[in-house]
Amino acid sequence: MPTLFDKLWQLHRVAEAGDGYDLIAIDRLLLHERTGGVALKSLAEAGHRVRDLARVFAVMDHIVSFRAGRGRDEARSPGGEAFITETRAMAKAAGLHLIDTDDAAQGIVHVVAPELGIALPGLTLACPDSHTCSLGALGALAWGIGSSDAEHAMATGTLRLKKPRQMRVTVTHRLAPGVTAKDLALHLIAKHGAGGGQRMALEFAGEGVAALEVEGRLTLCNMAVEFAAFTALIAPDAKTLAYVAGRPFGPGPEHMAGAEALWAGLATDEGAAFDAEIVIDARDVRPQVSWGTSPEQTAALGESVPAGADARALAYMGLKAGEAIRGLKIGGAFIGSCTNGRISDLEAAAAVLKGRRVAPGVRAVCVPGSQAVRREAAARGIDRIFIDAGFEWGEPGCAMCFYAGGETFPAGTRVMSSTNRNFEGRQGPGVRTHLASPAVVAASAVAGHICTPADILAAEGVG
């Protein structure tokens, strides 16, 4: 009996490529300015052209400035303008679909791809970015590649891959109110380790996953690479079909019935076998916060840094084993990224921030994941809530998710972040990153220390 992954693999398998590898057709390739210009230039210098221009999209997101009113070529890192201008020039010369810095559709590649219908159920997508696995939330087969693979995919429309083993993570029951897909992902990684995915193709399933809205599923699949999975998948359902309907690069009305008929078969058959199985009871998941320098170094809020914790991580984070995580004083807060920069993420944070102010001494920054998210936030007054609370309100891009030189938080600052990685120096030299959901980041920004929204209400005598 085939799994969802088996079906997607077989649909795109062109031929056997020798040594246990297959040649897999790539439906859509995504580029960004940090490596896209390099790949396009190398392809041109080798005398090759892009095989199918309609399948390749270049998006400006990684090093664009997040400052409001940014210039067309303005980067957030010294010398970053060269990456923007070269990618723009090479994409235009090749005739690709370019989503430029001043495009109304601009944003983080893994946010705009679902918004625009570039990512759809049943497609294969590749991008020189490890969080491409996010797009598996729609029932697509999507994974991160290197620049040389991007060149190969542009020239041939295929990639040579060895089929990975498969894992299923079944989430029974539903997450409690106030517990999010981000908490579920961090809980999984904390319980089974940052290497727990073993480079397998991971399918999320069960009542707890079906109950998530599509944006929550995108967050869950986004974090699969932090679990060392090759990719992540969720079978498309009625929520998925409603989400993708009418998207600019999706099927037109005349093709939608046929597409939906195809997508209806994109599910794991009953009785299909996986190489590994994990079962999580959603009732056991509580709001999470990382304490160390890997997503696996995470605990539920209310717990302490564990005994026997890694000494290097403790030294970098300025913590001690047994120390309470709740109540740690913070100096920074960041909401955004391909993990948690969508409108539902901003909405959850705004519910906490409304009528409140960021604590003195805390620098708080929100960068919407795309221009579409930014516009919707403005239309609904969410931007005003952030600004009135004391948050900086930025222009879409990867922003403070990773340090690329230039502006960041001062060394030693403890920062609550809705991003996906808390490695040493990830947000800047010496910056101490704590991963959490947007609502927990917002609550901590208001309190000036790590806490939950419920803690804010309790302090105010509510509830």
pLDDT given for residue 462 in this prediction: 78
**Short-list 201, 12, 22, 245, CA closest to 122:** 12
Average pLDDT over residues 274-291: 98
Average pLDDT over residues 417-446: 98
Average pLDDT over residues 223-236: 98
Average pLDDT over residues 408-419: 97
Per-residue pLDDT of 244-258, as tens digits, reads 999 999 999 999 999
Residues in the chain: 463
The secondary structure of residue 287, as a DSSP letter, is -
Is residue 463 over pLDDT 90? no
The secondary structure of residue 352, as a DSSP letter, is H
The CA distances from residue 38 to 99, 153, 213, in Å, are 17, 14, 37
pTM score over 0.85: yes
Sign of the four-CA dihedral 132, 133, 135, 141: positive
The amino acid present at 10, given as its one-letter code, is Q
Instruction: Tell me how far apart the alpha carbons of residues 256 and 246 are, in angstroms, rounded to a whole number.
Output: 9
Instruction: Tell me how far apart the alpha carbons of residues 429 and 295 are, in angstroms, rounded to a whole number.
Output: 18
| 380, burial (CB in 10 Å: exposed 0-12, middle 13-18, buried 19+) | middle
Average pLDDT over residues 300-307: 97
pLDDT given for residue 276 in this prediction: 98
pLDDT given for residue 120 in this prediction: 98
Is residue 238 over pLDDT 80? yes
pLDDT given for residue 197 in this prediction: 98
Using a pLDDT cut of 70, give the percent of the chain over it. Answer: 100
**Short-list 132, 162, 128, CA closest to 148:** 128
Is residue 377 over pLDDT 90? yes
Is residue 3 over pLDDT 70? yes
| Residue 366: count of CB within 10 angstroms of its CB | 33
Instruction: Tell me how far apart the alpha carbons of residues 6 and 189 are, in angstroms, rounded to a whole number.
Output: 25
The secondary structure of residue 17, as a DSSP letter, is E
In terms of phi and psi (left: phi > 0; alpha: psi -120 to 50; beta: otherwise), the region of 18 is left
Mean pLDDT, the chain, rounded, equals 97
The amino acid present at 460, given as its one-letter code, is E
pLDDT band at 359 (very low <50, low <70, confident <90, very high): very high
Per-residue pLDDT of 169-208, as tens digits, reads 999 999 999 999 999 999 999 999 999 999 999 999 999 9
The secondary structure of residue 410, as a DSSP letter, is P
Is residue 34 over pLDDT 90? yes
In 36-46, which positions are buried (b, 16+ CB within 10 angstroms) versus exposed (e)? Answer: bbbbbbebeee
